[in-house]
Chains A and B, each alone.
Chain A
Amino acid sequence: MWKTILRRLMIMVPEVIILSVLVFLLAKAMPGDPFTGSINPKADPAQIKHLMEINGLNDPWYQQYWNWVVHLFHGNLGNSYQYQEPVTRLIEGRAGNTMWLAFFTMVLTYAFALPLGVYAGRHEGKLPDTIIRFYTYVTFCIPVFVILVLGIWIFGYVLGWFPTTGSVSSDAQTWAQTVGSRFYHILLPSLLGALFGTVNIVQYLRSEVIDAKHSDYVRTARSKGVPSKDIYRHHIFRNSLLPIAAFAGYSITGLLNGSIFTETVFSYPGMGLLFVNSISYRDYTVITALVLIYGILNLVGTLLSDIILSIVDPRVRIE
Chain B
Amino acid sequence: MNKKKLVLSAMAVLATVSLAACSSKSSSKSSGTGNGSSLKLSTSYNNTSATDKTADEKSTLKVAEANDSPFQGISDPVLASNAEDSDVFAPGGGDSLFNVDKNYKIIDGGLANQRIDKKAKTVTITLRSNAKWSNGMDVTAKDIEYAYEVVANKNTTSQQYSSDFNAIKGMAAYHAGKAKTISGITYPDGEKGNKVVIHLSQVSPSMKFSGNSFIWGTVEPYEYIKNVPIAKLASSAQVRKDPIFIGPYKLDKVVEGESTTWSPNKYYYGKKAQIKHISINVVSSNNIVKAIQSKKYDITASGLGSTSYKQLKDVKGYAKTGQPALSYGYFGFNVGHFDTKTGKNVMDKNSKMANKNLRQAMMYALNLDQVYKKFGNGITWRANTLIPPIFQKYWDSSAAGYKLNIKKANKLLDEAGYKKRDGSKWRSDPNGKKLVIHYGAMTGNSTSAAEYQDYLQQWHKVGLDVQFTGGKTMEMNSFYTTLQAPKQNKIDVYSGAWSVSSEPTPTQLYGEDAPYNMGHFVSAKNTKLMQEMNSNKAWNDKYRTKVFKEWQNYMNEQAAVAPDYFAYGWSPVNHRVKGYDISPANTEFWSNMSLTSSKLQ
Chain A residues proximal to chain B, CB less than 8 Å: 30-32, 35-48, 50-51, 54, 79, 82-86, 89, 93, 152-153, 156-158, 160, 164-168, 170-171, 264-265, 267, 269, 273, 276-277, 280-282
Contact = CB atoms under 8 A, between A and B. Distances in A.
B499 interface: yes
B234 A164 contact: no
A30 B477 contact: yes
A280 B515 contact: no
A265 B283 CA distance: 10
A86 B1 CA distance: 17
B2 interface: yes
A84 B290 contact: no
B476 A267 contact: no
A267 B282 contact: yes
B508 A41 contact: yes
Nearest to A89: B235
24 contacts: A30-B477, A32-B478, A37-B4, A39-B516, A41-B516, A42-B160, A42-B162, A43-B81, A43-B160, A44-B162, A47-B161, A51-B157, A82-B1, A84-B72, A85-B234, A166-B282, A168-B255, A170-B255, A170-B259, A171-B279, A267-B283, A269-B256, A277-B68, A277-B69
A171 B281 CA distance: 11
Interface in B500-521: 500-501, 508-509, 514-516
A47 B6 contact: no
A167 B235 contact: no
A47 B481 contact: no
B226 interface: no
B1 A84 contact: no
Interface string B469-498: 000000111101110100000000000001
B159 interface: yes
B62 to A, nearest CB: 9
B259 A42 contact: no
B72 A36 contact: no
Contacts of A276: 69
A167 B259 CA distance: 10
A83 B80 CA distance: 9
Contacts of A54: 155
A79 B74 CA distance: 14
B387 interface: no
A166 B256 contact: no
A31 B478 contact: yes
Contact of A269 (B19, B157, B234, B258): B258
Interface residues of B, number: 68
A31 B481 contact: yes
B592 interface: no
Contact of B481 (A32, A86, A165, A280): A32
A158 B331 CA distance: 42
B258 A167 contact: yes
Contacts of B286: 265
A36 B3 contact: yes
A80 to B, nearest CB: 9
A87 to B, nearest CB: 11
Given A40-B498, A42-B20, A45-B516, A166 B478 contact: no
A31 B481 CA distance: 6
What 8 A-B pairs have minimum CB-CB distances, sorted nearest first? A37-B3, A32-B477, A85-B235, A84-B234, A170-B259, A45-B515, A31-B478, A166-B258
B284 A165 contact: yes
Given A30-B477, A84-B235, 20 more contacts: A31-B477, A37-B476, A38-B3, A40-B18, A41-B509, A44-B160, A51-B157, A82-B1, A82-B72, A84-B157, A157-B287, A157-B290, A158-B294, A165-B258, A165-B291, A170-B258, A170-B279, A170-B281, A277-B68, A282-B477
Contacts of A86: 235
B4 A42 contact: no
B397 interface: no
A148 to B, nearest CB: 11
Contacts of B484: 36, 39
B33 interface: no
Q: Which of A37, A51, A82, A157 has the most CB of B within 10 A?
A: A37
Contacts of B514: 45
A85 B76 CA distance: 14
Given A85-B235, A269-B70, A165 B4 contact: no
Q: Which of A85, A152, A277, A282 has the most CB of B within 10 A?
A: A85
A83 B72 contact: yes
Contacts of A168: 255, 258
A24 B535 CA distance: 50
A85 B296 CA distance: 32
A34 to B, nearest CB: 9
A32 B480 CA distance: 7
B477 A48 contact: no
B163 interface: yes
Interface in B253-284: 253, 255-261, 279, 281-284
B110 to A, nearest CB: 20
Contacts of B500: 41
Contacts of B19: 40, 42
Nearest to B67: A267
A264 to B, nearest CB: 8
Interface string B240-252: 1000000000000
Contacts of B255: 166-168, 170
Interface string B279-312: 1011110110011011010000000000000000
B477 A44 contact: no
Nearest to B23: A42
B234 A40 contact: no
B547 interface: no
A30 B81 CA distance: 22
A9 B476 CA distance: 41
B283 A39 contact: no
A260 B510 CA distance: 41
B235 A267 contact: no
B531 to A, nearest CB: 17
A2 to B, nearest CB: 41
B352 to A, nearest CB: 23
Contacts of A40: 2, 6, 18-19, 498-499
Contacts of B69: 273, 276-277
